[in-house]
Amino acid sequence: MKTKAALVRESNKLAIETVELDPPKAKEILVRMRAAGVCHSDLHTYRGELRTEPPLILGHEGAGIVEEVGSGVTRVKPGDPVLVNWLPACESCPTCLNGHFNLCENFNTTTFVGTLLDGTSRLKTLEGVSVNHYLGAATMSEFIVIDEAGAIPIPNDVPFEIAAIIGCAVATGVGAVINTAQVPAGSSAAVIGCGGIGLSMIQGCQLAGCHPIVAIDVVDSKLELAQQMGATHTINARNGSTLKALRRLIPGRPDYIFDSVGSAKTIPQALRGVRAGGTAVIVGLHSAIEEIPISPGWLVFENKRLLGSFAGDVRPRLDLPKLVELYRAGRLQLDKLITNRYLLEELPEAFEAMEAGTIAARGVIMFED
């Protein structure tokens, strides 16, 4: 079948084109997309800064309706609304058996290189050139084929745009707090960067019982949104020394600092900013291709911890339904996270806004009925 999709034929060359999509094979499903999140990972990949090589179809956050199932599918049926889980772990390799489903050993030869779990693609250009599925999902397309493990059923009352961002932004942010850092109630915390993931971190801190919660960004509108999400204090990093401002708000320095940016500036800032014995958690990938010097003195003399958190240490089949239920219960303010909506043809504008910092939280592509 044919589907309209966001095709990157080579780095920095994006076009909305019609491509060919093969039908689902055994244990695979066809999904008609209703919403797809616009994530910095998509932008980094478009720029050639992350794993999957072009040609590829972008997108890994998404939600839609199951249209067709291949043989042997048991988890979903046609007509089911689902959110896309771009981490369909095998659940049997040593890493999965140790509980790290986000680090499944099969991902390096499938998901991260842009294939489905059997190591092949269902996508090709109209000229017949094979096309990769970004992170095994390729959600910026009218229709997608994914493994059945890549679909999490959702209740009918959950908006597709909300379900879409739960699959990455929300899971990554909340998971960094709850799963990676395992923050105890009463801890003080700061969050660097208040985009979709950072605001999810703030909500994760609130769920964990943190106080105070300090939001740090360079855009006042994002800081205002952070306060609505649960931040007790804000710091605009353009207005002088961030670390001095943080010490004024929390004299002993925070127990935890979560860095959703991950730049050469913010990673050392997070580690220096936590108290002696504190923990800095790095989630962002802005410096994924850079080497960043870290003084061992910051770690050893003050007994600090520096943690990385990939996809919030998420256990998709367990954690994603929990996040959906927290939203339904009013414990997660996800409607406010979606501040920009686009049609698929407007993806270049979404990327421009993301690079300019004018998307307050999360942008979402809405597919027409």
In the residue annotation, 241 being an active-site residue is answered as no
Q: Which residues contact 110 (CB under 8 A, 6 or more apart)?
A: 116, 117, 118, 119, 136
The fraction of the chain above a pLDDT of 90, given in percent, is 86
Specify the pLDDT at position 358. 76
- Report pLDDT digits (tens) over 110-157: 999 999 999 999 999 999 999 999 999 999 999 999 999 999 999 999
Of the residues 60, 133, 233, 286, which is catalytic?
A: 60
In the residue annotation, 71 being an active-site residue is answered as no
Of the residues 39, 104, 194, 210, which is catalytic?
A: 39
> Which region among 50-59, 285-294, 358-367 has the lowest average model confidence (pLDDT)?
285-294
In the residue annotation, 60 being an active-site residue is answered as yes
Of the residues 41, 141, 187, 260, which is catalytic?
A: 41
Q: May I ask the CATH architecture of the domain 2-153+334-366? A: Alpha-Beta Complex (3.90)
Rounded to 5°, the CA angle 77-82-88 comes to 95
Tell me the pLDDT band of 298, cut-offs 50, 70 and 90.
confident
In the residue annotation, 168 being an active-site residue is answered as yes
Q: Which residues contact 149 (CB under 8 A, 6 or more apart)?
A: 27, 75, 85, 88, 89, 117, 317
- Report pLDDT digits (tens) over 180-234: 999 999 999 999 999 999 999 999 999 999 999 999 999 999 999 999 999 999 9
Q: Which CATH number fits domain 173-310: 3.30.590.10, 3.40.50.1580, 3.30.70.270, 3.40.50.720?
A: 3.40.50.720
**Neighbour tally for 185: CB within 10 Å:** 9
Of the residues 96, 133, 141, 168, which is catalytic?
A: 168
In the residue annotation, 221 being an active-site residue is answered as no
Confidence check: pLDDT of 287 > 70: no
The fraction of the chain above a pLDDT of 70, given in percent, is 99
Residue-range domain boundaries for the chain: 2-153+334-366, 173-310
This prediction has a pTM of: 0.93
